[in-house]
Each structure stands twice: as structure tokens, then as C-alpha cells.
Structure 1
Amino acid sequence: MKAIREAQGISLRRLAKEIGRDPGFLSRVEKDEQGASAGTLHLYAAYLHVPIKAITHKEPPSDQDGPGSPHREDPI
């Protein structure tokens, strides 16, 4: 969520003001420290002009992080 907002050059305070939410609340949502209602998520996505999936979808680990990858830190 935060990366999409920042890529558009929109501050957290501006977004919060525009969608009528508290900036502290949105910050916690972006950090995945607090959940948000579907209504808030739809407002967030609509303001950023992105589909709701763009802000709710979590990317699966990349193939580089798989077993045997030189980028993965395997426990010894």
C-alpha cells in the first residue's frame, strides 16, 4: 500500500485528509499493524486510482528465495 501511495507522490497526511481517515490509523494499516474495513480500503484504492487487489494482494516470495537459492539464508 505504502509503496503505491509513495510512487504517486501522495503523502500519508494528504491521503488521510482526502478520504476522511486519521493519518495514524492509515500508517498502522500500511504497516500491517492494524486492519481496515472494506470501506476504507475501497476509498484508499479509489483515491490512488488502483484496483482494490493492488493494495490488498501480498506478493508470494520470489523464486530467488527458494531452497538452494544463493539469495536465501538457509539455517545451518
Structure 2
Amino acid sequence: MKAIREARGISLRQLAKDIGRDPGFLSRVEDEQQGASDGTLHLYAGYLAVPIAAITHKEMDRDQERPGSPHRDDSDPPAD
């Protein structure tokens, strides 16, 4: 995740601000110290314009990819 973001020249603070997440939280996610909901991963991937598999190294179930799906968990903390 971090390598893709940095290759695009996007700072962690800018990404966090633009997707509405806390920079410390995203830093822990990038360092694999904390997990993130599908919602946050989709925001992250969408912002970087990459498929979700590029940042998770796994394929998501089609239901999980749809906004509003009952299988999605959008409970990550918002930015302060």
C-alpha cells in the first residue's frame, strides 16, 4: 500500500485528509500493525486508482465490492 502511495507522490496526510481517515490509523494499516475495513480499503484503492487487489493482495468477493453491501464494514475511525 505504502509503496503505491509513495510512487504516486501522495503524502499520508493528504491521503488521510482526502478520504476522511486519521493519518495515524492509515500509517498503522500501511505498516500492517492494524487492519482496515473494506470501506477504508476501497477508499484507499479508489483514491490511488488501483484495483483493491493491488493493495490487499487478495481478490474481494463481488458483494463486498458494492457500496452498501451487507458484507461491508465501514466502521473505521474518521479523521479527527
TM-score bucket of the superposed structures, by smaller chain: 0.7 to 0.9
Distance 1:5 1:37 in 2: 18
Tell me the residue number matched to 1:51. 51
Deviation (angstroms), 1:10: 0.1
Percent identity (aligned): 83
Deviation (angstroms), 1:12: 0.1
Q: Which amino acid aligns with 2:13?
A: R
Q: Which amino acid aligns with 2:42?
A: H
Deviations 1:7-51 (A, max 9, x none): 000000000000000000000000000000000000000000000
For the aligned residues, what is the CA RMSD? 1.0
Pair 1:8 & 2:8 matched: yes
Please say which structure displays the higher CA radius of gyration.
Answer: 1
Distance 2:19 2:32 in 1: 19
Deviation (angstroms), 1:6: 0.1
TM-score normalized with structure 2 length: 0.71
Q: Which amino acid aligns with 1:3?
A: A
Uncovered stretches (5+) of structure 2, i.e. residues with no partner: 59-80
Uncovered stretches (5+) of structure 1, i.e. residues with no partner: 59-76
